[in-house]
A and B are shown apart, each in its own frame.
Chain A
Amino acid sequence: MTARAVSRWPVIVWLGALVACAAIIGKTDFTADLSAFLPRAPTPAQEVLVRQLRDGVVSRLVLIAIEGGTPAALASASRRLAAGLRQQPESFAAISNGEDSGRGEDRGFLWRNRYVLSPAVRTGHFSSADLRLALEDNLRLLGSPAGLLMQRSLPGDPSGEMLRLVDQFAGVARPDTRDGVWFSQDGTRALLVAQTRAAGYDIDAQERAVALIQRIYANTTEAPTREAQTLLLSGPAVFAVTTRARIKTDAWRFSVIATTLVAVLLLVLYRSPRVLLLGLAPVASGALAGVAAVSLGFGAVHGITLGFGATLIGEAVDYAIYLFTQIVPGSTPAATLTRIWPTLQLGLLTSLCGFAALLLTGFPGLAQLGLFSMTGLVVAAMVTRWVLPALVPAGFAVHAAAGLAPQVALVVQRASLLRYPLLLVTVLAVAFLVAHRAPFWSDELASLSPIAARDRALDEQLRRDIGAPDVRHLVVINARDEDDALAASERIAAVLERAVARGHLDGFESPAAYLPSLATQRARQAAVPEPAQLRENLSAAQRGLPFRPGLFEPFLQAAAAAKVQPLLNRASLQGTALALKLDTLLVKNPGDGAMGWTAMLPLRAVRDAAAIGRDLAELPDHGAVLIDLKRESDALYRTYRGEVITYSLLGSAAIVLLLLINLRSPRRVIEVLTPLAAAVIVTFSLLVLRGNLLSIFHLVGLLLVVAIGSNYALFFARPAANSDEHARTVVSLLFANVTTLIGFGLLAFSEVPILYAIGSTVGIGALLSLAFSAILITRPPHQAVSPA
């Protein structure tokens, strides 16, 4: 039978499927949303965390620094940049650089509404006794330099509500000021903070915002200073933008380099451009099918999944190599396939067991990787099995394979001499891992972050400079509507107030400080006495004190006005920086569930979280939750890692079972698995030895090692008709290994931690798997009888 006769249809089906995949991919959304690497079914606390990471205000901050040159030049650059950015209100909600702009509005708002905003306004606050105390304090304050603080406001505010309000909002750390703008403590960097309108996960919009900052900076800086100054940008939004760009360029660059190198290698081997193209067909088809499958299964494809295009080359290219290299001169591809297909199929199934572990984790990012790899491998194997034989030119054989075979056979024969040294190395590695005191695994969600270490260092530096609080503890409550949320915040604030007094924390922020609930506003209005009564109280309080008569007329007028002023709502804060603050603390939840609003109260310097939690539990609202974002996120990560490890072990068990069923001999299963296990153990030790704290991505790398290494071991263990065939097999493995090393070895040069982790793990692991298989797997006994 000729190959030609059987294989028209597969080629037609294949081409049709490729067109379909291309059509699906044409309509696919590609995302770089980092929350894809957060789990799917979080607890309520984790939901808050995930929402904060996705579109919380923290995710919208761009930290900007200008460094280099004289402080005066830096300050003026900061002013010009800030002025330019303030003219882009559709992109930026706020620009802060320490200049007074905006603070005037804030003060105006606080001053106008001091009697409904001040927490001190209660019944009795304006009694003659309390006013007397306030006036005596004023007199004393007037004697000291601090008297300047209130001298001008005294006639309108003898009870000092304004000072109280300013104090309340001033407790937060702020950067140093020089020449009226923010500077780092050492005076080398001018600092700005921009808050984008777009949410953190909207990376396209963030990219435009970052580009806008750079353009405005370039336009507002004169040529001579531009030479000396550099613009530094950081923050979650900037990270998202640069990470996406970097993953794109790295994935693209490494894919191109790897493909080129592999292509050159294969061209040298095959000496036929047509066969070279055919050899790449399984990978290309697999990648297309993988992307299409992820697109259908998840609705969008993550950039990191695409990054694995390069890794798929590592395994899928092998299939064609096994086929082409093992064609015995004079035989047909179809005949060769009949010979190697069972082994190839078993190798494929083993890999699928490994990747299925990823598919089952609750981590959308990893599940995408799993689906991508599984689809890619199945399609690549199918193309190798049914499409390639029809297209390989008749009489094709790899001559280099024949040339190399004797040398390779010799090396493999000698390799078994290393059995005992290898055993020793493996035992040492196990001993090292057992004796290793420090943890192997990183416990932090940050280890999943695709941000390069040096970017993170810059971010930490700028954050310290700016004094941006690292929001860690947060009290969160859900409520039916805005006013309920504010009222609940007030009850929580009362509890926190007591906790501050007991020293459980330093302070907190509450949305109700910016906008009290309607009930509280009404209560405060009611606490202001009627004008005639207030006048009487004041004159009684003033008796015998040296204040000029009639001095406090403005106070009497303001108090009377406050009593009847319209109540404040969100719109009243329009145009102030306080509105922005309120927006961050009081948010409307997406969708319209019964609990449509969430209030957040960030805490400062928490010393006894447990005590605060207990106090909050006594509130009638229930539902008030104290969240430790760091602990939550790390717990999240640990659960997650546990899950991935469990599924990986299940995957490994499935592989053992699969091999047992197929090879039907426990001895041979052990023979196949021993080199794999040794390779994984030694790779793991090498990674730990290099001082890496291992992340989930290293684990994924080890899974890939098992997937690829199992092919090597299976081919080594496969009974061969004669030693020539065995040598051919080994040569095909060698080629396959070199391509894998090219694919993954290149990733080890990536600056993206994920790509680096997987690249280095698989690079080392694949090399060791092949070497260990050569050393440990003895050729099946029956072929020793047929030496050439």
Chain B
Amino acid sequence: MQNLAQVQSASGSFTERKHLAILNAPLDSSGTLIYTAPGRLEKHTRLPKPETLVLEQDKLVIEYKDRNQRRTLALQDYPVIWALVESIRSTLAGDLKTLQRFYRTHLAGSESQWRLSLIPAESNIGTVVREIHIGGSRNRVRTIEVIETAGDRSLMTIAGDTP
């Protein structure tokens, strides 16, 4: 975690695959992730359709350039989404304290090949998210796997990281 906390900014390309019960095919997407310390996270999705997510402090801004639409979510109104995005941001920031506000954490593996497991601490998040597994090596995050209670799950793989 200390290694991560020293990262000032990082960016990398990602691919994500989501399996949802309501769909009869997985959803694939890909794009770029940019993290700037201490707490700004941008997710630029290019495919299948452009979408920009910017997480800063307690606001999440979602923008669809092609539709000229923009939504700002105050995270405290959406505790589940907050918990979900915080799992990524706080891990990147090496902010164990914030992570533990939402999750019970368990770190396993070695420095070169670590795996952080997050189990929701609060029941309202627990009704939606069962567990989150984050895998990485040294100060880089490689994979983020979210397993939802309804059986939905997603796996994000991050590559080409340039800290």
Interface residues of A (CB under 8 A from B): 137, 139-140, 142-146, 148-149, 151, 154-155, 167, 170, 174, 176-177, 546-549, 551
Contact = CB atoms under 8 A, between A and B. Distances in A.
B49 A547 contact: no
A155 B21 CA distance: 12
A548 B20 CA distance: 10
A548 B24 contact: yes
Interface residues of B, number: 32
Contacts of A176: 76
B81 A139 contact: no
Given A139-B27, A547-B24, 19 more contacts: A140-B64, A142-B20, A143-B29, A143-B45, A143-B51, A144-B53, A145-B53, A145-B60, A145-B81, A145-B85, A146-B71, A146-B81, A148-B78, A148-B81, A148-B128, A167-B71, A546-B23, A547-B22, A547-B23
A144 B22 CA distance: 15
A40 to B, nearest CB: 46
Nearest to B69: A137
Leading 10 A-B pairs by shortest Cβ distance: A546-B25, A546-B23, A177-B76, A143-B29, A145-B84, A143-B27, A548-B24, A145-B81, A140-B49, A145-B85
A149 B64 CA distance: 17
Contact of A142 (B23, B53, B78): B23
A148 B84 contact: yes
A516 B73 CA distance: 26
B71 A154 contact: no
A548 B22 contact: yes
B72 to A, nearest CB: 10
Contact of B45 (A139, A144, A177): A144
B119 interface: no
A148 B20 contact: no
Contacts of B73: 146
B105 to A, nearest CB: 20
Contacts of A146: 53, 60, 62, 71, 73, 81
B62 A142 contact: no
Interface in B116-135: 128
A546 B24 contact: yes
B101 to A, nearest CB: 11
Nearest to B73: A146
Contacts of B22: 151, 154-155, 547-548, 551
A177 B48 CA distance: 36
Nearest to B58: A176
The listed residue with most B CB atoms (<10 A of its CB), out of A144, A145, A149, is A145
Contacts of A547: 22-24
Nearest to B66: A140
B23 A140 contact: no
Contacts of A170: 74, 77
Contacts of A174: 74, 77
Contacts of B51: 140, 143-144
B132 to A, nearest CB: 12
Nearest to B21: A548
A145 B82 CA distance: 9
Contact of B62 (A144, A177, A548): A144
Nearest to A545: B23
Contacts of A546: 23-25, 27
A143 B81 contact: no
B27 A142 contact: yes
The listed residue with most B CB atoms (<10 A of its CB), out of A146, A176, A547, A549, is A146
30 contacts: A140-B48, A140-B49, A140-B51, A140-B64, A142-B27, A143-B16, A143-B48, A143-B51, A144-B45, A144-B51, A144-B53, A144-B62, A145-B53, A145-B84, A146-B62, A146-B81, A149-B81, A151-B20, A151-B22, A151-B152, A154-B22, A155-B22, A170-B74, A177-B76, A546-B24, A547-B22, A547-B24, A548-B21, A548-B23, A548-B24
Contacts of B141: none
B18 interface: yes
